[in-house]
Structure 1
Amino acid sequence: MTTQQTPAPTTAESAWIRRYHPAVADAPRLICFPHAGGSASFYFPVAKELTPGIDVLVVQYPGRQERRREPLVDNVPELADRAFEELRHYADRPLYLFGHSMGATVAFEIARRFTAAGLPAPARLFASARRAPSRTRAERIHTRDDEGVIRELRKLSGTDDRVLGNEEIMRLALPAIRNDYKAVETYRAERGVTVDCPITVLTGDTDPNTTLDEAHAWAEHTTADCEVRSFPGGHFYLADRQREVLDTITARITGAAAVRG
């Protein structure tokens, strides 16, 4: 799970959905949601490792990579509404959602929309590097100047220093990064808002954006079970803990499949 992996040519299911590798028939589906400023290619290593036994689909938000000419969406509810209209067609088999950082918030809202539409709830939500939806902080990173946003990226260590030092690349990336920070920083969910699926919370033990208490608070947002797994590392702990993270995902998905069988 690094941003430096060069993806293979993508297969576009729609403008919103990428499938990097084919899966076996009737494989359970894992839908992945990128972090703030992120794009679908972030999850190419996940697709490479988990397929063909798991059908990995990745959401591509507007305004980045091949969708860079499309308008950005600066709020989570609209982003979730639009993505859900594409994803609702994939509920014909067990569906799992994985989101990192802002992606966890989007995945949570997507799970709510499945239930609201009378469709089967996802089999499990994997919420990575994000505090519970009702736990907010007075963050205004999206209002900072460019240097202020870049300082935040350096603090989180989610962007390669070669990229941060390349003015042309950063000039292209900053609008999407700032937009996504606005979306997640202005998002609000009431205490007691829940999804009807179990939640696995994954977090880095030194993540400045998510305390252990904020991670455990996800239990307030599900009618099912909630577990918290902590890994050594910061906000992008999964860059160094890819194997452990993927083993956790695989165990939860294959374990559920065995129970259904």
Structure 2
Amino acid sequence: MTVRAAETSTGAWIRRFHPAPAAGVRLVCFPHAGGAASFYFPVSRALTPDVEVLALQYPGRQDRRTEPCVEDLGTLADLVTRELDTLHDKPLAFFGHSMGATLAFEVARRLRRDGVRLRALFASGRRAPSVHRDDRVHLSTDAELIADMVRLGGTDSRLLQDPELVRATLPATRGDYKAVETYRHVPGPPLDCPLTVLTGDSDPHVSLADAEAWAAHTEGEFDLKVFPGGHFFLAAQAAPVIAAVRGRLADVVRS
């Protein structure tokens, strides 16, 4: 392992791109379906040193590409909860996009069950867990799955024209799609932390009503922020999204 890798890695699951030991709050970021920890590198760079940003690396991608993808979201939530067991020593917040939002919610539920207080949850680009649709993209052909990825805009379409790259990334993406599409919300106590929902005004997967339905999942403060753009609005709207996150986390540090 190189010196740089030693600085940024905290094991197989977590990446710390910009160490910030003096930060007053820790933000754990959950990638979208097919996404990797590196998606959050710009977020880490923007929020450091005030926030310690950690990004999850799911099995089946990048340096974990030889590991099987976890195709059940509940199982993935259990594994992530276990990995975060030693990270409760400072105020903790979560940010998840798309599949990552649902996964972050499920990990937050497990932490609350275990007596760990989450200080803020940011759910981006995903309908509320209680809103179910019978999506079956994970059962489609490779070409149909790639077309859906292009439509959502999270992956450069030019990269998806590289057969070798497609062979390397498609299994994890399909596994993630299966995990989120077969997820079924089990009713239980709502969270008690502030919940900020971020959504694009033209997201084909999330209506305004879908985003507003998140309010039922917390007893804490609820805030809905709507940005111009589609499913990956946060790429084009990076500055205002990061400003919203920074503002909420500043409140956490002050409280």
Structure 1: stretches of 5+ with no match in the other structure: 1-7
CA offset at residue 213 of structure 1? 0.3
CA offset at residue 190 of structure 1? 3.6
Instruction: Name the counterpart of 1:62.
Output: 59
Q: 1:251 aligns with which of 227, 247, 252?
A: 247
CA offset at residue 88 of structure 1? 2.1
Asked whether the 8 Å contact 2:8–2:16 carries over to 1, the reply is yes
Instruction: Name the counterpart of 1:136.
Output: 132
Task: Specify the code of the residue in structure 2 equivalent to 1:226.
Answer: F
- Secondary structure of 2:39's partner? helix
Task: Specify the code of the residue in structure 2 equivalent to 1:134.
Answer: S
Instruction: Name the counterpart of 2:183.
Output: 187
Task: Specify the code of the residue in structure 1 equivalent to 2:65.
Answer: R
Runs of 4+ with deviation above 6 angstroms: none
Instruction: Name the counterpart of 1:15.
Output: 12
Q: How does 1:78-117 map to 2 (within 5 A)?
A: 78-117=75-114
C-alpha offsets along residues 53-86 of structure 1, whole Å, 9 cap, x if unaligned?
Answer: 1000011101111111112100111001001111
Count of residue pairs the alignment pairs up: 251
CA offset at residue 193 of structure 1? 4.7
Does residue 209 (structure 1) correspond to residue 178 (structure 2)? The answer is no
Task: Specify the code of the residue in structure 2 equivalent to 1:250.
Answer: R
Asked whether the 8 Å contact 2:125–2:198 carries over to 1, the reply is yes
Does residue 47 (structure 1) correspond to residue 44 (structure 2)? The answer is yes
Q: 1:167 aligns with which of 151, 163, 168?
A: 163
Matches of 1:216 and 1:46, distance apart in 2: 25
Matches of 1:190 and 1:220, distance apart in 2: 13
Asked whether the 8 Å contact 1:24–1:53 carries over to 2, the reply is no
Compute the TM-score of the two structures, normalised by the length of structure 2.
Answer: 0.95
- Secondary structure of 2:86's partner? helix
C-alpha offsets along residues 97-137 of structure 1, whole Å, 9 cap, x if unaligned?
Answer: 00000000110011011111122x21010000000001011
Matches of 1:26 and 1:181, distance apart in 2: 34
Matches of 2:44 and 2:35, distance apart in 1: 16
CA offset at residue 26 of structure 1? 4.5
Matches of 2:151 and 2:187, distance apart in 1: 29
Matches of 2:217 and 2:251, distance apart in 1: 23
- Secondary structure of 2:95's partner? strand
Matches of 1:106 and 1:172, distance apart in 2: 23
Task: Specify the code of the residue in structure 2 equivalent to 1:257.
Answer: V
Compute the TM-score of the two structures, normalised by the length of structure 1.
Answer: 0.93
Task: Specify the code of the residue in structure 2 equivalent to 1:99.
Answer: G
Q: 1:38 aligns with which of 15, 35, 40?
A: 35
Asked whether the 8 Å contact 1:196–1:222 carries over to 2, the reply is yes
- Secondary structure of 1:127's partner? strand
- Secondary structure of 1:90's partner? coil
Matches of 1:26 and 1:155, distance apart in 2: 38
Task: Specify the code of the residue in structure 2 equivalent to 1:87.
Answer: L
- Secondary structure of 1:97's partner? strand
Task: Specify the code of the residue in structure 2 equivalent to 1:151.
Answer: A
Asked whether the 8 Å contact 1:23–1:53 carries over to 2, the reply is yes
Matches of 1:50 and 1:239, distance apart in 2: 16
Matches of 1:249 and 1:152, distance apart in 2: 28
Structure 2: stretches of 5+ with no match in the other structure: none
From the superposition, tell whether residues 124 and 146 of structure 1 become closer, same or farther in structure 2 (CA, over 3 Å). Answer: same
Q: 1:153 aligns with which of 128, 137, 149?
A: 149
CA offset at residue 255 of structure 1? 2.1
